[in-house]
Amino acid sequence: MSVVKGSWLKDGWFRESNPQWPGQAWSLEVDEVLHDEMSDFQHVVVFRNKGPWGNVLLLDGCVQVTDKGEFSYHEMMAHVPLMSHPNPQQVLIIGGGDGGVMREVVKHPSVVECHLVDIDGMVIDVSKKFFPDIACSFAHPKARTTVGDGFAFLEGKENMFDVIVVDSSDPEGPASQLFGKEFYARLWKALKPGGLICTQAECLWLHLPLIQKMLAFVKECGFHAVEYGAMLIPFYPNGTLGCLVARKDNANEKVSAGPVRAVPEDLQSTTKYYTPETHRAIFALPRSVDLALYGKS
């Protein structure tokens, strides 16, 4: 893709417009452009917002993370699956090059190693430079970082991980193959018995057909207790983003029931969003969504 440097900026404002949410856009006033470069995979931009959001990371013109409110996504993507496992020791994150989910994962005392695989090394480097409070996890002794293709990384790996988090961007560009059935079949093989996946699963207001499709093929891949949860994420479209969670087995143990163990004291003292109550609350969906996804009335 050919991108003219600064072409995303007009009259001092960034305007996020994406074919995946037609008819709407979100604008942010730019104080200073900090980074504007094409990687081998995508257009990577960082700017400082004149308003409350601080530094903002764009990938191919879409907001990925902001200083303000980033914890709302990173905490829930990490702690919902890890607190649903009795003893998570080996964790894999696919995507998540900003390091935010890994920052939360390594807080769990039981975690021995957290592997992060992101295809774009520039995202990791830019995050370390401009989002140090988010990317601090890369220096943690539990962290293992690989720059490479997450889909290829899973090949041949069986019964290795207790929890796998798929912190992907939208189903276009570099992340497109992370929304397919073959990818989820590889996730299933890579999990230990009783393991869980948690994957970014788009917005219930905009992408319900995609979410329905994901639920169906995740079940076809052998996962059980497949559930969709909706999180309040202020810098994503419509202020809502979803996660999909599922178990390799233990079909009756739904993640929506809440934590399966006590929240570690050191973890509880650092979270700004996650609690046992918010863990359960994200699975309380609007009636229309319950009907569309599960046939509930």
C-beta of residue 53 within 8 angstroms of C-beta of residue 28: yes
Nearest to 50 by CA among 30, 80, 24: 30
**pLDDT value, residue 71:** 96
- Largest interatomic CA distance in the chain: 55
C-beta of residue 211 within 8 angstroms of C-beta of residue 204: yes
Active site residue 167: yes
**pLDDT value, residue 174:** 45
pLDDT digit string (tens) for the chain, length 297 residues: 445 566 789 999 999 877 777 788 889 999 999 999 999 999 999 999 999 999 999 999 999 999 999 999 999 999 999 999 999 999 999 999 999 999 999 999 999 999 999 999 999 999 999 999 999 999 999 999 999 999 999 999 999 999 999 998 654 444 445 557 889 999 999 999 999 999 999 999 999 998 999 899 899 999 999 999 999 999 887 899 999 999 998 777 899 999 999 998 889 899 999 999 999 999 999 999 999 999 965
**pLDDT value, residue 172:** 47
Distance CA 235, CA 244 (A): 19
Domains of the chain: 9-66 (2.30.140.10), 70-252+274-294 (3.40.50.150)
Distance CA 227, CA 273 (A): 20
> How crowded is residue 220: how many other Cβ atoms within 10 Å of its Cβ?
11
Phi-psi region of 132 (alpha: psi -120 to 50; beta: other; left: phi over 0): alpha
> Token pair of 95, please?
């995507």
> Token pair of 167, please?
């912190």
C-beta of residue 148 within 8 angstroms of C-beta of residue 92: no
CB neighbour class for 2 (10 Å; exposed up to 12, middle 13-18, buried from 19): exposed
Q: Annotate 236-295 with DSSP letters as a single string.
A: SGGGEEEEEEEESS-TT--GGG--SSPPPHHHHTT-SS--HHHHHHTT---HHHHHHHH-
Which residues lie closer than 8 Å to 112 by C-beta, 6 or more apart? 89, 90, 142
Map residue 139 onto helix, strand or coil. helix
pTM: 0.93
> How crowded is residue 168: how many other Cβ atoms within 10 Å of its Cβ?
22
Q: What angle do CA 121, 78, 280 make, to 5 degrees?
A: 150
C-beta of residue 94 within 8 angstroms of C-beta of residue 120: no
Map residue 233 onto helix, strand or coil. coil
Q: Which of 162, 167, 249, 290 is catalytic?
A: 167
Which residues lie closer than 8 Å to 2 by C-beta, 6 or more apart? none
- Measure CA 147 to chain center: 17
CB neighbour class for 97 (10 Å; exposed up to 12, middle 13-18, buried from 19): buried
